[in-house]
Amino acid sequence: MRRQRKAKIVATLGPASSSRESILALFEAGADVFRFNFSHGTQQDHLARYEIVRDLERSHGRPIAVLADLQGPKLRVGQFAEGRVQLRAGERFTLDRDPAPGNATRVCLPHPELFAVTAPGQSLLLDDGKLRLEVLECDEHAIHTRVISGGMLSDRKGVNVPDAVLPIPALTAKDRADLAFALDMGADWVALSFVQRPEDVLEAREIVGSRALLMSKLEKPAALKRLDDIVEVSDSIMVARGDLGVELPPECVPGLQKRIVRSCRRRGKPVVIATQMLESMTVAPVPTRAEASDVASAIYDGADAVMLSAESANGAYPTQAVAMMSRIIEQAERDPSFFEPAELSQGEPQRNSGDAICHALREVTRIIGAVATVTYTSSGHTSLRAARERPLAPILSITPNVSTARRLAVVWGVHSTVGPDISDVDAMVEAARRTALAEEYGRPGESIAIAAGMPFGQAGTTNLLRLASL
């Protein structure tokens, strides 16, 4: 079962997509990766969905990636005596450490670490940015503010502090429990929420080890100050435009999205564009034209994958949303000028054998008109380097490790398969020919280009380029 497109689709599972029938429909419509959002649902809910995904994987013979998305440190106000209050522009409002129910002049902020980093002149955003407060003065017990943009504020609404690096752990107690569960369950990728610094990623890496790959979600302005460092230590990046658009002016997000994609492309790290891509399809069977353009723009920019959140998790048209996203991607990739922006955002190959081979692989497939770029890989390194070059010919990745095959499901252009563990070049060529024919990449007599590493089975040793005929 091979997709007729190169960019991938991540679909979030939720109440609207929990049955075997609904998950199967999403997969057949085009979902390559399923996101399990640990901000919602119970661990048992996620386990039940995971077992369905793996059953579908076995029945269809196609590796499917599972992305466990951790909630991260959520900052929220306390509760109000009446459940909610109206804040009016120009009025004073205090956030303090008093656990008593709040009113129209104050509310508890049960996060003592915020009081140490808040300073006069900073902004506090409440309820996903719907309300804005300006800090007037603060001490270790209270933050006194003026309401700039008012509105209704109710119990437990979120707090964003865009002007400060927050001294909070990247992994909360809930995250650590969910992470242990996700790893035991068998998640292929773990998404880290609210990453602010590379140290946040390294902290998670110590726990995860080699059991999964790490995807850093960029949703705070502080992360952008150390963007390249975070990309360097991450296995992948998610542009989480929801929270990023809360803490930054909306007009800044498109340019930052392009900057993040360029940083990932230069380093050959997969990048996922997420949030509100087809938002209107939560209630309507078709998207707006602006949403279709948004998805296509991400594809033109060189994103590896685009993601559906509420659209597939609890929307009214989850299958239609995946199918629509797939059609938009296919149409963008058929554009004769599609490869031009991708080439411009591509960095220079590094001075090592892997980059040299995969850079040459791209040119060879173009010159000989190869029907497929075949990569043999143990760790996934060869396939990742080939994808970074954005070859014209589709990438057929063959690995003896099912975990590697699943992890590559998020990577641009890679059709991931599990194949035999080979020991010599002749066996490699024969397996490549058999797989390419079985996956209907071409007909007998047509050309393929093969990249691999010797000795076989040793990670990170891409050093072999071979041409063959089907």
- Please identify which of the residues 3, 54, 74, 76 carries the catalytic annotation: 76
- Side chain identity at residue 54, one-letter code: R
Cβ proximity of 429 and 450 under 8 Å: yes
Q: Determine which helix (DSSP H) or strand (DSSP E) holds 368, and give its type and residue range.
A: helix 353-368
Judge whether 388 counts as a catalytic residue. Answer: no
CB 233 within 8 Å of CB 247 = no
Question: Which of 62, 106, 197, 217 is an active site residue?
Answer: 217
Four-point Cα dihedral 211, 28, 316, 304, nearest 10: 50
Known catalytic residue at 35: yes
106 among known catalytic residues: no
> 395 φ, ψ to 5°?
-100, 115
Choice among 275, 377, 382, 462 that is catalytic: 275
Distance of CA 310 to the CA centre of its chain: 15
- Confirm whether 92 is a catalytic residue: no
| Spatial CA neighbour of 358 closest among 329, 397, 323, 324 | 397
> What is the C-alpha to C-alpha distance for residues 358 and 384, in angstroms, rounded to an integer?
9
d(CA 176, CA 180): 6
5, two tokens: 């497109």
Rounded Cα gap, residues 148 and 133, in angstroms: 5
For residue 122, give the amino acid letter. Answer: Q
| Residue pointed to by tokens 């013979």 | 61
Question: Which tokens in the block code for residue 185?
Answer: 């369950």
Of 6, 8, 35, 49, which is the active-site residue? Answer: 35
Q: Which active-site residues does the annotation give?
A: 35, 76, 217, 275
